[in-house]
């Protein structure tokens, strides 16, 4: 074992020993290529000596790294700036005036803060939509996790705006391609059916198809949005998106609270991944929970997202799993809906498939996106059922160690450079408030 | 500063410097009597030299210790043992068969585990109802926090059972009185209007009045309970309790999901404290959230509880505050209902008043029940609004240091003796499962 600094370096192999996987202590070998080479209780003979580093993981549970399929990462800077307000007042009096002063530097440090928070709570990939997304990509590259970045595309039916958004989307695609970092991807980000014209939606669908990249959109978050769409377009929002070519297996649709049964089946048929955001939906009082039972019955892909920090107000997917499992039970009046092991699937393999991270399972050939959760803490005792403890009793604070593509990003709660990021993010947040109130 | 062991000893005075209280860094002096002697930014001259220990609390927020007004502490042993089931099946196939094997020793270690978890997440007092409550009291005495213990009184209308429950209640009262520990109290615990006869309820009301002790009861958790009561007694459950003398300012009524507006006013008029248990109510799909808006409008006292670990599955009141603030908004369709600062009141001063802990505020003359939360962690940055960060972004893991009656129970995340308790509790849980499956 060499120095701590070396341990955090990429392209080193690791032998992780004694972590619980599916109920039994097993070992994991991670190759220098960041890929899981072997998993099992009998691999030590072949792989242990080969590894650059040995990680004693006894007393931990190993999980695939968590995947957040809907957030606005840099909104960490707005955490706690305005809560407990009516939506329109909140946006027009608080959020938008502050965002008007946002710079690329703010987005860089806000995203660094978000990545720090995600690493601390076990998230190794996220689906982002915001402004200055080249800066968000740069921050994520520096943080070491995986990000998919969409410029929030809003044309409000205006041709000039649409051309500008098309240019911005192409520019982001070029900028991130130039970074040539396999952890970074671009998605096209039509904001929502009510903020983007059918022409804009069609262009986005085409750009996603032609470049084989994701399409990230808000869908059916509020009842108002559904009734407005029906009045304006003569069809519900999912049908409108489908008509514009926006529903494919590259699509992540956030919220989906107000889908009806037919729309749930359409979402399933098209291979769309829904991103369930229960905490945000509850906080903003959207009036209905994503219909998990209809989506599940139809065979739809469902994943999990935190939404941005001004409507949640954290990025803790372990907490979000509990909100999901409990909100589904409460809202649809069934204590058996969305059991713990399904909630874990939403936050791991379903998200990894949607964002094409190469991970999502702990198995040979998969990207070594692995997190270790400490079981030697009161809320994880007794360990009758690990899935239940993780979903219902733990929080993100249970995560002790994080690997992304085999690189250690946090080891036994230590993240190199954390303090400096906290200071810089706080400064950006303070400056934003000072500017918006001057 | 002397050794660490001395620091955890009772009856030592402390000077806590630089913790944020209501937005500004202040100092707190705790006397050897466990009472707060002074609070402010200008008290160092008078008190700093007097203190046995100096605690550097810069970078923390000080809050009154949290108070959990409804739990079944020893059910920590059942954490994760059975989830995601229908209520009747869950009780009859899983919970009751396991509980049939419970011993006093199990309740001791289950309660020690619960106290450990509560201390870790900032809770310094709780309202307990279960079996072998003398053992629960002994465990709490050893753990150092404050407990109010009720024997779960269930007569099912049977005279013989009622006499046995009366005897058990008197016995517990005598046993805990003998312990002569000011941190321990007894309450009378009529389980619920549907499990205790009017005669039993009347006896409980009298015992509470005559001994000036609390009365701890489940009320209106499910719709079924309300309709059954109306059919059987010709009145709703709150009216029945009132007729039996059970609604007073010594009463804590847990759940109260299905109160109507009239009942909410009655609860307020009688000075009853409601214990809101949002996570449990969601997980068990009770179909309705406690009507906070009606209770608030009527001026009722509302506090917060976690319920037991088999229906939550943790004892983290910081997480529970978020569930409360979000469930109220979602269930009653209002994004302004139960704002962050009110959620904090529920978990601190409202609970402290209900359980008569002597604490609940950070002010001279109050019991020194104080917790320190670390702000140097990503989810607490930026610090636009401390209340919002605590309620919406933090979890119990933010708590670093805990004082109860001035005695340090956790200091910078360290709790002396923690590991042994985790091992003993796990053993008890394993034995219970082995017995119930043999």
Residue A91 has pLDDT above 90, yes or no: no
* Minimal-distance CA residue of chain A relative to B419: A376
Residues A371 and B398: their CA atoms lie apart, in Å, by: 21
Partner-chain contact A330 B382, CB within 8 Å: no
Angle between helices B133-143 and B104-120 (to 10 degrees): 40
Task: Specify whether the CB–CB gap between B390 and B340 falls below 8 A.
Answer: yes
ipTM of the complex: 0.98
Partner-chain contact B282 A326, CB within 8 Å: yes
Give the distance from residue B194's alpha carbon to the nearest chain A alpha carbon, in angstroms: 22
Mean pLDDT of A223-231: 97
Residue B341 token pair: 């600062």
Partner-chain contact B426 A382, CB within 8 Å: yes
Whether this prediction's pTM lies above 0.95 is answered by yes
Facing residue for B388 by CB, picked from A77, A313, A322: A313
Mutate to test the interface with B, among A382, A429, A436 (most CBs of B within 10 A): A382
Give the distance from residue B197's alpha carbon to the nearest chain A alpha carbon, in angstroms: 29
Q: Note the pLDDT of residue B100.
A: 93
- A393 has a chain B CB within 8 A of its CB: yes
User: Domains in chain B and their CATH numbers?
Assistant: 4-64+366-411 (2.30.40.10), 70-355 (3.20.20.140)
* Minimal-distance CA residue of chain A relative to B378: A117
- Strand B123-130 and strand B370-374: the pairing is unpaired
Mean pLDDT of A102-118: 98
Mutate to test the interface with B, among A258, A330, A385 (most CBs of B within 10 A): A330
Give the distance from residue B371's alpha carbon to the nearest chain A alpha carbon, in angstroms: 18
- B132 has a chain A CB within 8 A of its CB: no
A-facing residues of B in 303-342 (CB < 8 A) are 309, 312-316, 319, 322-323, 325-327, 329-331, 333-337, 339-340
Facing residue for A327 by CB, picked from B282, B313, B376: B282
Residues B254 and B267: their CA atoms lie apart, in Å, by: 12
Give the distance from residue B19's alpha carbon to the nearest chain A alpha carbon, in angstroms: 18
Task: Specify whether the CB–CB gap between A111 and A309 falls below 8 A.
Answer: no
- For residue B128, give every residue at least 6 positions away whose Cβ sits within 8 Å of its Cβ, in sequence order, or none: B71, B72, B73, B111, B136, B140, B147, B148, B149, B150
DSSP symbols for B45-101:
HHHTTT-SEEEE-TTEEEEEPEEEEEE-GGGGGGTTTS-SS-HHHIIIIIIHHHHTT
DSSP symbols for A348-382:
IIIHHHHHT-S-SS-STTSB--EEEEE--SGGG-S
How far are the Cα atoms of A394, B250, B306 from residue B275, in angstroms, in the given order?
A: 23, 13, 9
Chain A positions touching B93 (Cβ under 8 A) are none
Residues A308 and A79: their CA atoms lie apart, in Å, by: 9
Residues B222 and B148: their CA atoms lie apart, in Å, by: 25
Partner-chain contact A382 B309, CB within 8 Å: no
* Minimal-distance CA residue of chain B relative to A115: B378
Task: Specify whether the CB–CB gap between B391 and B61 falls below 8 A.
Answer: no
Residues B242 and A380: their CA atoms lie apart, in Å, by: 41
Mean pLDDT of A77-92: 92
Q: Note the pLDDT of residue B88.
A: 84
- A287 has a chain B CB within 8 A of its CB: yes
A-facing residues of B in 155-194 (CB < 8 A) are none
Q: Note the pLDDT of residue B87.
A: 82
Give the distance from residue B211's alpha carbon to the nearest chain A alpha carbon, in angstroms: 35
Residues B81 and B88: their CA atoms lie apart, in Å, by: 15
Name the pLDDT band for A1 (thresholds 50, 70, 90). very low
Residues B243 and B314: their CA atoms lie apart, in Å, by: 35
Mutate to test the interface with A, among B224, B340, B378 (most CBs of A within 10 A): B378
Q: Note the pLDDT of residue A5.
A: 62
- A437 has a chain B CB within 8 A of its CB: no
Digit-by-digit pLDDT tens for chain B (438 residues) are 446 668 999 999 999 999 999 999 999 999 999 999 999 999 999 999 999 999 999 999 999 999 999 999 999 999 999 999 988 898 889 999 999 999 999 999 999 999 999 999 999 999 999 999 999 999 999 999 999 999 999 999 999 999 999 999 999 999 999 999 999 999 999 999 999 999 999 999 999 999 999 999 999 999 999 999 999 999 999 999 999 999 999 999 999 999 999 999 999 999 999 999 999 999 999 999 999 999 999 999 999 999 999 999 999 999 999 999 999 999 999 999 999 999 999 999 999 999 999 999 999 999 999 999 999 999 999 999 999 999 999 999 999 999 999 999 999 999 999 999 999 999 999 999 999 887
Task: Specify whether the CB–CB gap between A280 and A324 falls below 8 A.
Answer: no
Partner-chain contact B316 A116, CB within 8 Å: no
A348-393 per-position pLDDT tens digit: 999 999 999 999 999 999 999 999 999 999 999 999 999 999 999 9
- For residue A296, give every residue at least 6 positions away whose Cβ sits within 8 Å of its Cβ, in sequence order, or none: A302
Give the distance from residue A418's alpha carbon to the nearest chain B alpha carbon, in angstroms: 9
Facing residue for B382 by CB, picked from A87, A120, A429: A429
Partner-chain contact A381 B79, CB within 8 Å: yes
Q: Note the pLDDT of residue A87.
A: 82
Mean pLDDT of A308-322: 97
Facing residue for B80 by CB, picked from A116, A312, A384: A384
Partner-chain contact B83 A392, CB within 8 Å: yes
How far are the Cα atoms of A164, A306, A332, A375, B297 from residue A347, in angstroms, in the given order?
A: 35, 10, 21, 20, 40
Residues B150 and B173: their CA atoms lie apart, in Å, by: 9
């Amino acid at each position: 074992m060499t120095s701590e600094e070396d341990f955090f370096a990429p392209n080193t192999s690791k032998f992780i020993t004694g972590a619980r996987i599916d109920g039994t202590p097993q070992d994991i070998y991670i190759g220098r290529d960041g890929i899981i080479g072997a998993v099992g209780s009998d691999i030590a003979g072949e792989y242990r000596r080969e590894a650059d580093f040995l990680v004693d993981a006894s007393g931990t549970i190993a999980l695939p790294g968590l995947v957040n399929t809907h957030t606005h990462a840099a909104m960490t800077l707005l955490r706690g700036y305005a809560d407990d307000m009516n939506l329109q007042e909140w946006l027009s009096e608080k959020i938008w005036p502050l965002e008007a002063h946002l710079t690329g530097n703010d987005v860089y440090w806000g995203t660094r803060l978000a990545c720090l928070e995600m690493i601390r709570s076990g998230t190794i990939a996220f689906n982002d939509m915001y402004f200055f997304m080249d800066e968000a990509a740069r921050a994520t590259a520096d943080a070491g996790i995986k990000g998919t970045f969409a410029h929030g595309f809003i044309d409000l039916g205006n041709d000039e705006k649409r051309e500008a958004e098309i240019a911005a989307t192409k520019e982001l695609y070029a900028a991130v391609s130039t970074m040539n970092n396999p952890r970074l991807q671009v998605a096209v980000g039509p904001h929502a059916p009510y903020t983007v014209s059918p022409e804009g939606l069609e262009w986005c669908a085409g750009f996603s198809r032609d470049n084989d990249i994701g399409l990230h959109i808000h869908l059916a978050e509020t009842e108002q949005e559904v009734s407005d769409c029906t009045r304006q377009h003569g069809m519900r929002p999912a049908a409108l998106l489908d008509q514009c070519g926006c529903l494919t297996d590259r699509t992540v649709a956030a919220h989906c609270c107000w889908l009806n049964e037919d729309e749930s089946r359409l979402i399933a048929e098209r291979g769309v991944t829904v991103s369930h955001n229960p905490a945000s939906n509850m906080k903003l009082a959207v009036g209905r929970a994503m219909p998990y039972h209809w989506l599940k019955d139809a065979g739809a892909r469902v994943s999990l997202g935190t939404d941005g920090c001004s409507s949640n107000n954290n990025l803790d997917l372990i907490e979000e799993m509990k909100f999901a499992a409990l909100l589904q039970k409460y809202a649809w009046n069934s204590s058996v809906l969305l059991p713990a092991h399904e909630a874990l699937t939403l936050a791991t393999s379903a998200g990894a498939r949607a964002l094409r991270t190469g991970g999502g399972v702990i198995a040979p050939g998969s990207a070594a996106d692995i997190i270790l959760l400490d079981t030697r803490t009161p809320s994880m005792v007794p360990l009758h059922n690990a899935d239940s403890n993780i979903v219902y009793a733990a929080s993100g604070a249970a995560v002790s160690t994080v690997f992304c593509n085999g690189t250690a990003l946090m080891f036994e709660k230590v993240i190199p450079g954390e303090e400096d990021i906290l200071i810089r993010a706080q400064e950006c947040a303070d400056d934003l408030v000072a500017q918006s109130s001057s």
